[in-house]
Structure 1
């Protein structure tokens, strides 16, 4: 056996997968990526995420109902009760529920084949959730506190803060509805970042041609 043949055989043994292993030709789909969560952990994380997301949605429905009640009521006690209740919900539940929704959503993205940057719909949901969480912490919570302080005055005041806490739940409900549609229909396909990592720059054009 000459030196060239020996080197070629050594290189093939070094680069070939071990016997019995599943290579790319065995049906592996590089788009799926490694599933880092076991089925049990995935289901548990998904359950917590759904509960948190539904709770966040329910809180916004409740805040919207109380805000409308405070705006249209002529009874001072009803106005005070509505805005104080909104402040209590914001203090006790709003930020923890929003944080649970964000964290479990990130864990599901990282721990399943969907990833965080792999598909347009997942990336869009992540950005919208971050926007909603930031707005909740930076704008809605202070607005609820101010609206409650205004309502506790004699007579109760329904001013700019009350208008803000009326608009915020409406915007949030629109965002959550859109994100729910994304979760169900999963539109748009893979991102350019994911296609480049897979080494398939022409995948987007091929997908559009189908």
Structure 2
């Protein structure tokens, strides 16, 4: 049979357990907020954002130049001009493109890690990051190794040789990259899809 003393003790234990649970929940929430707290100050965040926009804009511009040079090489009736276009493409385009891509990637990582947007809290940030990494890697592993052959083809065309069939595939890299960069820009503006599952906290930062 329960006595008033036993009931009081049980009530005290229940209250203590509830208090411990609340304290643990508050501590976990405080830890989450501390981890989500941005370490980029507003001034630095704006500076990094400007660099990010400039890098992405330069990347898009270089891809457009890439496409224009390919079209000139394909369509020009002047063999000298066509050959010069391919030589310029193979010599001058890829290094600035990779630089712009790395600037875009590095500043994007800083903005993600240094603000409450994070890298894996929102789907649009994560997808944009994956696209940027994939395109930067493709420049190194798929595009850059072929540039010496493009230069050699340009020299041969300028000397009067017929264009090689492999040059007809050169339009695909800028076409794919421009589509991907346009999609990434749209993601940055529209910010669709919401949070990733398991991502807590509320974002206060604005890009």
Please say if 1:36 is aligned against 2:55: no
1:185 and 2:181 are equivalent in the alignment: no
Aligned to 2:175: 170
- Report the TM-score, using the length of structure 1 for normalisation: 0.76
1:70 aligned to 2:104?
A: no
Mapped to 2, the partners of 1:46 and 1:156 lie a distance apart of 47
- Which one has the bigger helix percentage? 2
Structure 1 segments unaligned to the other structure (5+ residues): 17-23, 200-210
CA contact (8 A) 1:49 1:104 kept: yes
Q: C-alpha root-mean-square deviation of aligned residues, in Å?
A: 3.2
- Which residue, 127, 130, 135 being the options, matches 2:133? 130
Structure 1 Cα separation of the partners of residues 118 and 165 of structure 2: 41
Contact 2:90 2:148 in 1 (8 A): yes
Runs ≥4 residues deviating over 2 A: 88-92, 142-145, 154-161
Matched residue, 1:59: 62
Q: Which has the larger radius of gyration?
A: 2
Q: Is the 8 A contact 1:70 1:83 kept in 2?
A: yes
- How far apart are the structure 2 equivalents of 1:157 and 1:142? 22
Please say if residues 94 and 139 of structure 2, whose CA atoms lie closer than 8 Å, have aligned partners that are also in contact. no
Distance in 1 separating the partners of 2:166 and 2:57: 26
